[in-house]
């Protein structure tokens, strides 16, 4: 178990319950996280989220989702970011003392005049992440041939890297 020296970072981490993997991050799952997890404190958002995500306005909301278990050299959390016309799940990785190591958007729903861009991500027990992306155009049905697949992993140093 990692010893956390920064008390504010420990409070921040405790907002993210550890879960069992695998998990699939869908748009609907954010309702469950919002109902079950306490909101992040403003000072924790300022200290630990703004350093990795500086695109914030008065309509932005953050919901803690979960913490990736069994990370021996770093801490990894997933939060949901809600904005006007766009929602996303973000994976954030921090050092043991709370310094940001890496961050990546895993799943997104984005509305525009052209249609709806969506992606769904699955994180497995080995920290492999499979992301399926697609776009539903305004006047057309969804075309599965337009889908793209991206594979990532969290490496032992806490970096989120593509998998070939």
Which helix (H) or strand (E) covers residue 154, if one does?
strand 148-154
Residue 108's contacts (CB-CB under 8 Å, 6 or more residues apart) are 86, 87, 88, 89, 117, 118, 119
Residue 90, domain extent: 7-162
Q: Which residue has the tokens 């306005």?
A: 57
Place of tokens 């998990």: 23
- Number of structural domains found in the chain: 1
Q: Is residue 112 part of a domain?
A: yes
Judge whether 54 lies within some domain: yes
In a domain, 116, yes or no: yes
Judge whether 2 lies within some domain: no
Q: What does the mean pLDDT of the chain come to? A: 90
* pLDDT tens per residue across span 33-57: 999 998 898 999 999 999 898 777 7
Q: Confirm whether 97 is domain-assigned.
A: yes
Per residue in 58-97, pLDDT tens? 788 999 999 999 998 999 999 999 998 899 999 999 999 9
Q: Does 95 map to a domain?
A: yes
Confidence band, pLDDT 50/70/90 cuts, at residue 103: very high
């Amino acid at each position: 178990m990692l010893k956390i020296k920064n008390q504010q970072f420990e409070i921040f981490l405790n907002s993210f319950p550890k879960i069992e993997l695998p998990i699939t991050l869908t748009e609907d799952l954010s309702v469950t996280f919002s109902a079950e997890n306490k909101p992040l404190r403003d000072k924790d958002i300022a200290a630990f989220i703004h350093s990795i995500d500086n695109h914030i306005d008065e309509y932005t909301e953050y919901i803690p989702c979960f913490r990736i278990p069994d990370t021996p050299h770093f801490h990894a959390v997933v939060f949901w970011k809600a904005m006007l016309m766009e929602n996303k799940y973000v994976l954030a990785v921090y050092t043991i003392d709370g310094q940001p190591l890496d961050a990546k958007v895993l799943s997104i729903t984005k509305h525009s005049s052209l249609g709806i861009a969506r992606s769904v991500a699955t994180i497995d027990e080995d920290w492999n992440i499979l992301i399926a992306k697609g776009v539903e155009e305004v006047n057309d049905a969804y075309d599965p041939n337009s889908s793209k697949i991206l594979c990532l992993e969290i490496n032992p140093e806490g970096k989120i890297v593509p998998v070939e």
